[in-house]
Structure formats: structure tokens, C-alpha cells
Structure 1
């Protein structure tokens, strides 16, 4: 008989969602110390990414950056319990929105909206908080390999209002279907999905396979591209989600590659003030230009 993991996972995440903030932070510190020691392959990916993106940074400073990154990463995992099982009021108190008037103005105007959400550590908290603000939204969803985990993640991410979780198999086409209906889409622009639909666009000076979809959608559907930048304060457990004004004149006269390079520069500018907040644990440079060796 297969072991049903759902009650155990729900109990653990529910505990994280209800426990006092100091307890949440203690768990984050413990897991932040353990994770790079237990998941050595992920620690390797972080080191490689930081070396590629910050080659001029001394090694001891990159090591300190990696340690802070894992501290933030672990806290964000603990806080999925808060997002998926905590009370709406506690989520609103912990995850603060700034600039929501930018979204509201576009909604009032009937504009199509692409919420441009780079992979910062606080990405999940930002998505949950935005679903409390928006009556309806859509985002891509990658099915989890474990069906018990998949059910919990799907329920957690679709907890508030109406959230359309678009299968990665349907891809951008699925998001466009929702966008055409006037539903704001939460778009993650900086994952390496291979060569199809991508171009090698510089990211911290490194050619990175980058989807051109944001620029193409904005041009084809007159969609406003609204940056969503999220950060976590590991000392207080508070999250800040900054909703910026729509990217000016985007894509304008730029072709999709030039417009996408513009967005990558926007991400870089937001990463630099506190680089540990970015999601370095994913293989951003997995796909390499022809003839170039792999990094990982």
C-alpha cells in the first residue's frame, strides 16, 4: 500500500502557516544552514551562477552571497506554509504590496496586463498576495512529479479568488488565451526553456536562452508590461512586493530580441542592490550557444 504523504505535508505546512513569526524565522535559519550541505548539487549551481555573473567579486564575497541566498531560499520555503495555510489577514500583514494603483489604473482602463515577475526568492509570496488583490489572474504551472505534492501546490497557488493555472505544456499559448479575455497574467520571464522560442540575450554579460514572449505579446496584443519585484527581509520575516509602472514605450520600435535585452537589463538593475534575493539555484545558463561548453 502506497504511503499517503498529503496529511504529513499539510500538517507541516499548516504548522508553518500558524506558528509565531520568531518560530518561522528559526526554522528558516536551520534550513538555510542545512540545505546547501544536503543538496550539494544545488549549492554547486549557485556557485557557478554567481561566478559567471559576478566574476570580479572576490571569492569570499561570493561565498557570503551564497550563504545569504540559501538563508533566504529556506525562509521562502517555510513561508509557503504561511501563503497556503495562513489566514488572509496574516498574509496581508506579512506580504506588503506597494504600487497596486498601477495595476488598478490599467484594470480600470481595460488594458491587457502582463505582470513581469522575475525569479526573486519572494516570488511565491508575491503571487499569493497578488491573488488576494486581483479577482482573476493566470500563470504558468509546472506539474509536480509527486501527485500528492502536486495537489497541495495547486490548491495553495489557487487558494484566493480565481486563478487559472496554465500547464507548461500549453505554454505561452495558454497564457495568451487568458490575456485575450482581459485576465492579467503572471509571467516568469527568466527560466531557460531551451532554444525553441528563445534567443541568446545577455544576462549579466552571459548569453542566456531567454523567451521572447513578453515582447511579442506586448507588440501583438497591446499589453502593458508591469514589473513585479519582490524581496524578503530575513530578520523580520516581512516581504515587500513592488508593482512598478508599465515599462515605457514597450516594445516600441525594438525588435523582440532588443526588447527582451531591455527587460534583462531591468532585471539586472533590480538584482544588483541585494543579489542574494535572486533565484540563483536554478540553471539559468543550462542551454549554451552552439559550440560552447556547459557550465554545470
Structure 2
């Protein structure tokens, strides 16, 4: 990203952070609905994912969820202004925390917080980092300026940002020192370090990094999900009980456990999962491409 464009992006996000939240959210929803009308590769990807995962739904139902998803995705981009430049007080006021574990327990075992790519994931992570020490894994973006901006703003409340490609040693060290680590492992990064596990009955190339990191560190794995609340009431961050029997010692079984949990959460609000990603781009040998 060139300097002028980078400065314009930062200025836009700062400006958005000064506007009423409901206004920005409505702007994002309206823009997303408008973009959905236009034929695009992203629209094709979203509909393909929905047809694969929900074959019993009608085309009209797929279209309804896909349009709502476009609205949520574009809205989430505009709301990044609040998340990256809003005050800690704004984040605390807008994100409602529900935890099934004691977060302040001084005797808690090493903890991996396992997130998923719902549209609200970023603000949920920021709420946690504004209250308690945490480290977070990130994937380097191709645009160096944007990557540096995202890393700086995501860590502005004190979260230690660890690049995914060199994360294992640093993550284990932090976990053993009592610092929880947040990560998301529900994207398709190819077959290296992955296994195929069903997601709504579709073979999904699934990272085994969570179970491997848990084995190395002796950490419990605690799922969390952030959802966007209706009527512009903000977000809800839900921290669940640790996964039972995880890691099991079997990477394939652990991947199935993770995807089964994800299925249950997607079924609650399918329009908020990140369907714009090519979740099934890597296919088992001999299986045709879907995109």
C-alpha cells in the first residue's frame, strides 16, 4: 500500500471511530447489500460454500444467508475503525462477556483460546486483551504497511503479537509462563500440518496446530466465539468450557472435534461465519475443485 493510500485508510478508520456506532453499522450493512447485487468472485465463493454445507436448503435460503453475510462482512470492515482506534471504554461497553471459566484464576493451567473466523472475532480478542494478559497469533499479510498497521492496532491494549510462521517456540514459552495464547485454526492453509476432517459432511483441510501446541505445552484448549448482536447492541464474546479429551493424541480425531464444535456455532448464526474464504480450496486427492 502506497503512503498516500495508507494515510487515507488510517484517516478513514479514525473518522469512522468518531461516528455513532449504529450509523457506521447501518452504512456497512447498506454497502454490503449493494455489493451483493453485483456479480463477483466472492459472491460465487460464498454461495458455493453454503451449497456445500447446507445442501438441504433452497436456493432462496442460500441467497438470503449470502446477502446477510455480505452485509456483515462489509460492516465489519467499517467497524474496524472502532476496534482499532476506539477507546478501551468503548470496547468494554460494546462487547458483552460471558465466560464459563474463571478468567482471573491465578492457578489456571496453561490455556489456548481457540477462536473461529466469525465476523466479530477481532473485537472479542481486543476486549480480552484490554482486561488480561494474552498473546495472539497472526498471519503475515502480503501488504507490509497494512500488516504493520493491523499488528500495531490489534496489540494496542498489550497483547503480544506472534507471527504464525514462527510461533511454536514462542507460544510454548508464553504458555508455560502462564500467558494464554489466542489463535484461530479454521482456515485452509494447505496440506502441510493439516488433515482432512468433515465440516458439515464436506472434507475440510484442517490445521492440526492447536492439538500439537496443546501437546507440547500441556495446555487446555478453550473455544471462544464472538457474535454480532441484533439491533446494533454491540457484540457478545462467549468463552466456553475447555474441550474434553483434547488433545487426544490423534490429530485426525482432534480435527473432527474442532470442526464439530464449529458446526454447532455456525448453525446458531450462519450469516456471521466467514464464508468469503475458500474453506474447501484444498481437496482430497482425486476430488474435483469446487470453486
State if a TM-score over 0.5 links the two structures: yes
Cα RMSD after superposing both structures? 1.9
**What is the match of residue 126 of structure 1?**
124
Residue 175 of structure 1 and its aligned partner are, at CA, apart by 2.9
Confirm or deny that 1:144 pairs with 2:160.
Answer: no
Distance 1:169 1:217, change over 3 A: closer
Once the two structures are superposed, the pairs formed by residues 9-24 of structure 1 within 5 Å of their partners are 9-24=9-24
The TM-score, its normalising length taken from structure 1, stands at 0.91
Conserved 8 A contact 2:33-2:68: no
Distance in 1, matches of 2:7 and 2:247, equals: 47
* Equivalent pairs, count: 290
Residue 3 of structure 1 and its aligned partner are, at CA, apart by 4.5
Once the two structures are superposed, the pairs formed by residues 204-223 of structure 1 within 5 Å of their partners are 204-223=200-219
- The structure 2 residue matched to 1:229, chosen from 225, 231, 245, is 225
SS at match of 2:235: strand
- The structure 1 residue matched to 2:268, chosen from 264, 269, 273, is 273
1:220-264 per-residue CA deviation (whole Å, 9 max, x = no partner) reads: 322111111110025315110001121123234x62211221121
Once the two structures are superposed, the pairs formed by residues 230-245 of structure 1 within 5 Å of their partners are 230-245=226-241
Confirm or deny that 1:285 pairs with 2:280.
Answer: yes
Distance in 1, matches of 2:151 and 2:196, equals: 32
Once the two structures are superposed, the pairs formed by residues 175-190 of structure 1 within 5 Å of their partners are 175-190=171-186
SS at match of 2:104: helix
**Larger displacement relative to structure 2 (257-266 or 242-251):** 242-251
The TM-score, its normalising length taken from structure 2, stands at 0.93
Unaligned residue ranges in structure 2 (runs of 5+): none
Distance 1:234 1:7, change over 3 A: farther
Once the two structures are superposed, the pairs formed by residues 51-200 of structure 1 within 5 Å of their partners are 51-99=51-99, 101-105=101-105, 108-135=106-133, 137-161=134-158, 163-200=159-196
SS at match of 1:195: coil
1:104-161 per-residue CA deviation (whole Å, 9 max, x = no partner) reads: 23xx1141111010111111111111111222x2222222333332232122111102
Unaligned residue ranges in structure 1 (runs of 5+): none
Distance 1:85 1:292, change over 3 A: same
Distance in 1, matches of 2:22 and 2:190, equals: 41
Distance in 2, matches of 1:81 and 1:142, equals: 20
